[in-house]
Amino acid sequence: MNPSALSTGLSAWGEPPLLTGSQVLTNPLLNKGTAFTDRERDVLGLRGLLPPRVFTLEEQLQRTLTSLRSKSSNIEKYIYLTTLQNRNEVLFYRTVIDHIEEMVPLIYTPTVGEACQKYGAIYTKPRGMFISLRDRGHVAEILRHWPQAGVRLIVVTDGERILGLGDLGALGMGIPVGKLALYTACAGLHPGYTLPITLDVGTDNAELRAGSAYIGLKQPRARGADYDDFIEEFALAVKEVFPKALVQWEDFGNTNAFRVLHNYRHRLPSFNDDIQGTAAVALAGVLGGLRLTGGKLAEQKILFLGAGEAGTGIADLYVAAARDEGLSEAEARLRCWFVDSKGLVVQGRGDTLASHKLPYAHKHAPVATLAEAVKLLKPTALIGVSGMPATFTREIVELMAANNPRPIIFALSNPTSKAECTAEQAYTWSSGRAIFASGSPFPPFELNGVRHVSGQGNNIYIFPGVGLGALVSEAREVTDAMFLSAARTLAGLVQTEDLAMGRVYPSLTKIREVSLKIATAVATAAHDSGLASVPRPDDITEDVRGRMFEPVYREYV
């Protein structure tokens, strides 16, 4: 290799740009820090720019863990890991992958929620692009400013519904940055082909606008034609500048999320993780739970707390799965009920229902509270996607346990502070009979000598594999059938030993193998449906596996 022309090593996807000499120290994709060998230091002109001792990757990893674990708070650990990611991506991803259960809560939920709230104060270096309303008419030009050519995956937010924290505007950049880190760690997508984007259309959070550390536009959110025209320009610019890119719409508010997904899913390879990814991971959890209860999917009655994009997305995917088991669409929808801020979603309730709620507004007398709905409907599964903490009360959990030998109770709101109940509460109030999962992790809990390990119903199990499968097949569209396939694949990967401890998802330590299986299923669905843009490989699994990034140092000379 010519040492004066080092590449970023992205050959699995295309031709990379070239860097020269000591530029490797400032490029996190190439920088090895103290691991550059003596020979590399001589040839690349790095003598004097590094301490003299040469470390191995393993030695660097141990030093990193020591430093990280010395931090006193999770937000300090988040900042430390972000700094490492900005300096040395191989070491960062090696750390995350080798210690996945410890690291995921630090780089994503629940810590990323606090990080977003403080993003203006802790911001040091951009890891993505901020595109604002002031850039209208120039979005394609701005996308070309991104230094890495050939972007294949974009996670984009407008910051209106960040986890359960609401409108954080430009501070929501922590979400696409975190999601793309998970794509690399969990599914092996090379970080050089990822691009986090925040579309700054203002914020309706008056407290943020008044704050001195706020980094975004200090104006109310754009609505109506101004907003839609901006999104349209963005979508067209992506197709022009990065024609092979897959777009993940992330943390858009209910008023825009469904419309944006509907408008662009057939025009631009894209999906909404809050709607479709949440649906797949929740359905997989229900399918896993049924392996403990012995029931059939078509026999379940699901009550949702929260009727936004996550809840109705889960219900829509349940309907698709139940239809495969013989129910009609109407029969399947009648198995799904919703409680929102005004009570049970029913026909003739007196308020104007959003369009995504209408298919689930059944004929029923008005019901004011969740507890009353549980009493009357006697659901087999209770799923919380409300962002309202402590709403699964003792009364409600006890009602679920009285009506079901093994009640399915999923408190999926993120971060941990927004969970509808804790694992300890669900197990204690149900006398240990609940099949519990949550959006953010809870520690194991022992009750009457029985150790319960709850599952984390986090989208991390779904979106990395779905995105990877869509990319390797160059799918022209990401369909609901692909998410249903992903859900079934995930449920099938839950082992007997997982179920024995009450966990309805695989161990997070197996996440890369889970993502490989899901990517294979999605790529297979793309080829089977004629949506793939590349020839079908002889072995789809090996094709996917061969494209997965493994964080190891390259030898430059």
Q: Residues 450, 313: one domain?
A: yes
Give the phi and the psi of residue 199 in degrees, each rounded to 5.
-95, 110
Residue 484 is predicted with a pLDDT of 98
Confidence class for position 11, pLDDT limits 50, 70, 90:
very low
Q: Report angle CA 458, 464, 468 to the nearest 5 degrees.
A: 160
**Measured distance CA(113)–CA(554) in Å, rounded:** 35
116 in any annotated domain = no
Residue 473 is predicted with a pLDDT of 98
Question: Where do the DSSP E strands lie in 190-239?
Answer: 194-200
Given 32, 77, 179, 517, which residue is catalytic?
179
- Residue 359: helix, strand or coil by DSSP? helix
| Other C-beta atoms lying within 10 Å of the C-beta of residue 184 | 25
Q: Residues 235, 331: one domain?
A: no
Residue 17, pLDDT above cutoff 70: no
Question: Where do the DSSP E strands lie in 466-554?
Answer: none
Confidence class for position 83, pLDDT limits 50, 70, 90:
very high
Q: Residues 383, 428: one domain?
A: yes
Q: Residues 456, 531: one domain?
A: yes
113 in any annotated domain = no
160 in any annotated domain = yes
Given 78, 93, 108, 427, which residue is catalytic?
108
Only one residue has tokens 């999917």, namely: 297
Residue 556 is predicted with a pLDDT of 84
**In this predicted model, what pLDDT tens digit does every residue of 405-464 receive, in sequence order?**
999 999 999 889 999 999 999 999 999 999 999 998 899 999 999 999 999 999 999 999
- Residue 323: helix, strand or coil by DSSP? helix
- Collect contacts of 424-427 with beta carbons under 8 A, ≥24 apart: 425/392, 425/394, 425/397, 426/392, 426/397, 426/454, 427/452
Confidence class for position 9, pLDDT limits 50, 70, 90:
very low
Residue 22 is predicted with a pLDDT of 73
Q: Which domain holds residue 421?
A: 274-557
Residue 362, pLDDT above cutoff 90: yes
**Measured distance CA(522)–CA(478) in Å, rounded:** 9
CATH of the domain at 446: 3.40.50.720
Closest CA to 422 of 450, 448, 384: 384
Q: Residues 324, 390: one domain?
A: yes
- Residue 211: helix, strand or coil by DSSP? coil
Under the phi-then-psi rule, with left for phi > 0, alpha for psi from -120 to 50, and beta for the rest, what region is 203?
beta
Residue 4, pLDDT above cutoff 70: no
**Measured distance CA(217)–CA(221) in Å, rounded:** 9
What average pLDDT does this structure show over 214-242? 98
Residue 15, pLDDT above cutoff 90: no
Q: Residues 367, 221: one domain?
A: no
Residue 147, pLDDT above cutoff 70: yes
Residue 312 is predicted with a pLDDT of 96
Residue 20 is predicted with a pLDDT of 58
What average pLDDT does this structure show over 269-292? 97
385 in any annotated domain = yes
120 in any annotated domain = no
Q: Residues 323, 461: one domain?
A: yes
Under the phi-then-psi rule, with left for phi > 0, alpha for psi from -120 to 50, and beta for the rest, what region is 405?
alpha
182 in any annotated domain = yes
**Measured distance CA(75)–CA(114) in Å, rounded:** 7
* Least confident interval from 84-98, 281-295, 338-352, 368-382: 338-352
* Least confident interval from 349-358, 365-374, 423-432: 349-358
- Tell me if residue 360 is catalytic: no
496 in any annotated domain = yes
* Whether the Cβ atoms of residue 399 and residue 375 lie closer than 8 Å to each other: yes
Q: Report angle CA 33, 15, 479 to the nearest 5 degrees.
A: 105
**Measured distance CA(138)–CA(483) in Å, rounded:** 34
CATH of the domain at 93: 1.20.1370.30
Q: Residues 316, 418: one domain?
A: yes
Only one residue has tokens 């660097």, namely: 60
Q: How many domains does the chain have?
A: 3
Confidence class for position 43, pLDDT limits 50, 70, 90:
confident
What average pLDDT does this structure show over 515-527? 98
Confidence class for position 24, pLDDT limits 50, 70, 90:
confident
Residue 149 is predicted with a pLDDT of 83
Q: Residues 472, 362: one domain?
A: yes
Q: Residues 452, 401: one domain?
A: yes
- Tell me if residue 179 is catalytic: yes
Residue 283 is predicted with a pLDDT of 98
The residue out of 247, 268, 289 marking a domain boundary is: 268
Tell me the pLDDT of the chain averaged across its residues. Answer: 94
Residue 131, pLDDT above cutoff 70: yes
* Whether the Cβ atoms of residue 202 and residue 221 lie closer than 8 Å to each other: yes
Cα–chain center distance at 425: 26
What average pLDDT does this structure show over 304-319? 96
* Least confident interval from 188-202, 218-232, 337-351, 510-524: 337-351
Q: Residues 460, 493: one domain?
A: yes
The residue out of 268, 301, 316 marking a domain boundary is: 268
% the chain with pLDDT above 70: 96
| Both structure tokens of 178 | 């975190």
Residue 164 is predicted with a pLDDT of 87
The residue out of 243, 268, 293 marking a domain boundary is: 268
- DSSP states of 420-456: SS-HHHHHHHTTT--EEEESS----EEETTEEE--EE
233 in any annotated domain = yes
Q: Residues 208, 317: one domain?
A: no
Residue 19 is predicted with a pLDDT of 58
Residue 445 is predicted with a pLDDT of 95
